[in-house]
Chain A
Amino acid sequence: MTPIAPTFFFYFLAFLAVVSAIAVITRRNPVHAALSLIVTLLSLAGLYLMLYAPFVAAVQIVLYAGGIMVLFLFVIMLVNLEKNIREYQWNKQWIVGTLAAVVLGGLLLFVMRRGYDIFPTTFAGLPETQNTQQVGIWLYGNYMLPFEIASLLLLVAIVGAVVMAKKRI
């Protein structure tokens, strides 16, 4: 019996991600959009799990859905959007913009189709149970410098955000 669970789950999660992504860009109310984005993030987390990356999936849920989206929701609440919800949502260049993006997407697919042959066919052996440890070792080992720089970046971001949001500098 062929395993149909991965297939099913993939299509289910993919469908969910795409649908909620479309919901993000089409909702009038930003809160709805934010919630749709959370759905997208969660489905992507599921997809990460299927790709033998549990740590990334966890980070995605904790950081992205739990941190960034909460931040988004805070700001949405801060900003008064009563007036904005009733206005016209799309800007003047939507036709050209859509067209450009579609063309870009098409090009990406085209490139993928063309170059798919050079991908290796066998998967690398990635242990499921040792994934977090491995990520930790690699993160503090080979990727030490990017790690520190990332923390510096976060510092700058904090300072910048505080400065930007202050009433009086």
Chain B
Amino acid sequence: MFFLDHIWIIPLFPAFGAAFMFFFGRRLQKSMVSGVCVGMVVLAFAWACVAVWQYTGYAAANHGQPFEKILFTWLGTGDNGVIYPTHIGFAQFHADAGFLLDPLSSIWLLFVTGVGMLIHIYSIGYMGHEGGYYRFFGYLNLFMFSMLTLILGNNYALMFVGWEGVGLCSYLLIGFYFQRHSASTAANKAFITNRVGDAGFLLGMFTIAWYFGSVQYTQVNALARSGHFAIGDPWITAACLLLFVGACGKSAQFPLHVWLPDAMEGPTPVSALIHAATMVTAGVYMVARSNALFVLAPNAMKTVAIVGALTAIFAATIGLVQNDIKRVLAYSTVSQLGYMFLALGVGAFAAGVFHVFTHAFFKALLFLGSGSVIHAMSGEQDMQHMGNLLHKIKTTFGTMLIGTLAIAGIPGFAGFFSKDAILWETWSREAGAYRYLWYIAFLTALMTSFYMFRLMFLTFWGKPRMSHEVEHHIHESPKSMTMPLVILAICSVGAGWLGMPHSLGGSNRFEKFLEPVFAKEAVVLEQGGKAAQVAAGEKQVEHTDPLEYLLMFASVGAAVAGWWLARRAYENADKGYKEPIRDISPRFYKTLFRKWYIDEFYDWFVTGRDKLAGVRLGAMGLGEAMWKFDAEAIDGTVNGAGWATRESGTLSVWWDKWIIDGLCVNGVAVVTRLVSYPVRVIQWGLVQWYALVMVAGLVCFVVYYVVRW
């Protein structure tokens, strides 16, 4: 049990690679860089294989229990941790640095390290001529470390560490060519949109911590399955919806899908690894991990299913008209993720996980193949300028064809089994309650097939539409690039066989492997009372419904129809070929081409980057309004206070000048002078005045005596 016991070493391998690049990468040669980093991932993969092998033995011995290894207490010690009130009492927040391995995380562990290893090998050839070689591999290893932490953690907090880490690495890698403005903008968009989802994740985690008193998976699941909670519990529904918001951000569901197509600004291996196979599946992983909670919240599951289905068809419609080869694949990823959430939403957890598993292989294959095509075309990504590469890059063509067949759902290839499982579950769950979603999923399958074959026809068939210079340089990619393609192609075929359903004569090993993880719920329609759940691990009787064959036939028919329509429109595409949708309705074509104007909507109403009718709305509009308020109202008030002070100063001046100086000081002087004037005249100095006064006095005297007489 050595490798299993030391499962915590697995994330440390790429962490070491990243640290090594951080400290010494600049001075190393390219061979050293690739040797260290790729070697680390190879080691991680090898260790993972052995660990999973050892786990199967462990699980057989312990009735399918998950293997848990706690290294140390990360948050919250025995005596002085954070004590917070839950709705049933007080609890201490406790999160360990612990690692959990059960069937769910084993699947993820295997394909993350496996596909990651292949993509690392591919990157040696693809990035061989680029600058920043050591930086690229450093980030890629950092990403592997974060992703492994995410899937191996035993509690929501540690998962969140990994969650944030993959978001960070996504930002770093999308903006790898940071000198390009479009790249840095796309990196910002990815990170910010992720952040919106992270807020939901955090709130969901807090709700769980409050409601259950713990964030550890085993404890939460035990509480949830104990029958203590009623189905449709509002707090659990709230927690699940909040967690799903996080999943939408990370897995690019509507309306937080906007970052994934722009993320194609990063190098192709990044698109393959992060945005096809691994990071975007983190949301699916999280929902699958919380299945015990989701099962208790039927409204949340309905929401998941509806959002997944709508995203699937929404992205598929946009993918029909895109011209950039990587963008078509990006929308395809969004659409397929919608399928996965649809599966989880209707309760078919195993089918959803199976689709993740197969999708990882064929989507990575398609992305790497497109990278090979771009490499051959000397950097040209626009399909309008490709054509007739069929005979020139044979290996790439062959592998991409296999990948296309897989995604379209042609029987025998991986995608057929997984997609078909999803469609069947959608039709049949809850006695046909989700049937309307089946129609949407069916249409999406048709469109998927159409746009994938459109991609193939435009790229490899038809007349060459590129410039002559580019045409001369077309060459097959080096072995380091083609070898992973071949391996992935083999996996795209073989992976499907693991999930061969009972209807086609296999025992669905994949589903069986996952049985200990998913509780098989009996009824999740709203019926009061406690959950009558079938405990995890109980076997359900396998039986095949004849309808399943009919639906299988229908989905294959849809795939073939898509191929045929694409062939009709694009097989002989020459310069200036026509898009059939544009011919039917140019307006509709434009709407699809502009991605249903979602980005414009966000720019107007959410971020406020563009003004709507001269008014800036959204977050920046709020900022502008605040700025205007501050500048006018608050600064106006401040200025007004200053003005008032100045005016009061003027008033004081006036008061001082006129009232104090004028009235009080000068006034006294004036009054004194006025009073003194009459008194002065007594001593004029003029003799005749004295004589006059004498005469006047005499007159008065005489008058006085005459009157008295």
Which partner residue on chain A sits nearest B695 by CB separation? A100
Q: In the complex, what distance in Å separates the CA atom of A114 from the CA atom of B708? A: 13
Counting CB contacts under 8 A, is B688 at the interface? yes
B602 CB → nearest A CB, Å: 99
**Cβ–Cβ contact A97 & B688, under 8 A:** yes
Counting CB contacts under 8 A, is B222 at the interface? no
Q: In the complex, what distance in Å separates the CA atom of A71 from the CA atom of B66? A: 156
**Cβ–Cβ contact B688 & A104, under 8 A:** no
Counting CB contacts under 8 A, is A150 at the interface? no
A-B contacts, CB under 8 A, total: 29
Q: Is the interface of B mostly helix, strand, loop or mixed?
A: helix
* A111-B706 contact in complex given A100-B695, A104-B698, C-beta closer than 8 Å: yes
**Cβ–Cβ contact A91 & B688, under 8 A:** yes
Residues of A near B431 (CB, < 8 A) are none
Counting CB contacts under 8 A, is B651 at the interface? no
Counting CB contacts under 8 A, is A96 at the interface? yes
Residues of B near A154 (CB, < 8 A) are none
Which partner residue on chain B sits nearest A115 by CB separation? B709
Counting CB contacts under 8 A, is A101 at the interface? yes
**Cβ–Cβ contact A104 & B706, under 8 A:** no
Q: In the complex, what distance in Å separates the CA atom of A104 from the CA atom of B693? A: 13
- Hey, what's the 0/1 contact readout for A99-134 against B, CB within 8 Å counting as 1? 011011001101100100000000000000000000
**Cβ–Cβ contact B706 & A96, under 8 A:** no
* A100-B696 contact in complex given A91-B688, A93-B688, C-beta closer than 8 Å: yes
Residues of A near B615 (CB, < 8 A) are none
Q: In the complex, what distance in Å separates the CA atom of A107 from the CA atom of B704? A: 11
**Cβ–Cβ contact B702 & A107, under 8 A:** yes
Counting CB contacts under 8 A, is B522 at the interface? no
Q: In the complex, what distance in Å separates the CA atom of A10 from the CA atom of B688? A: 34
Interface size bracket, B side = 10 to 19
**Cβ–Cβ contact A93 & B692, under 8 A:** yes
Interface size bracket, A side = 10 to 19
Counting CB contacts under 8 A, is B664 at the interface? no
**Cβ–Cβ contact A97 & B692, under 8 A:** yes
Counting CB contacts under 8 A, is B32 at the interface? no
Q: In the complex, what distance in Å separates the CA atom of A96 from the CA atom of B709? A: 27
Q: In the complex, what distance in Å separates the CA atom of A111 from the CA atom of B706? A: 8
Counting CB contacts under 8 A, is B699 at the interface? yes
B685 CB → nearest A CB, Å: 14
Q: In the complex, what distance in Å separates the CA atom of A108 from the CA atom of B698? A: 11
- Hey, what's the 0/1 contact readout for B675-709 against A, CB within 8 Å counting as 1? 00000000000001101100110110011001001
The 6 closest A-B CB pairs, nearest first, are A100-B695, A107-B702, A100-B696, A104-B699, A103-B699, A97-B692
Listed by A's residue number, 28 A-B pairs whose Cβ atoms lie within 8 Å are A91-B688, A93-B688, A93-B689, A93-B692, A96-B692, A97-B688, A97-B691, A97-B692, A97-B695, A100-B692, A100-B695, A100-B696, A100-B699, A101-B695, A103-B699, A104-B695, A104-B698, A104-B699, A104-B702, A107-B699, A107-B702, A107-B703, A107-B706, A108-B702, A110-B706, A111-B702, A111-B706, A114-B709
- Contact residues of A with B, CB < 8 Å? 91, 93, 96-97, 100-101, 103-104, 107-108, 110-111, 114
- Contact residues of B with A, CB < 8 Å? 688-689, 691-692, 695-696, 698-699, 702-703, 706, 709
Known: A93-B688, A100-B695, A104-B702. 19 other contacts (CB 8 A): A91-B688, A93-B689, A93-B692, A97-B688, A97-B691, A97-B692, A97-B695, A100-B699, A101-B695, A104-B695, A104-B698, A104-B699, A107-B703, A108-B702, A110-B706, A111-B702, A111-B706, A114-B706, A114-B709
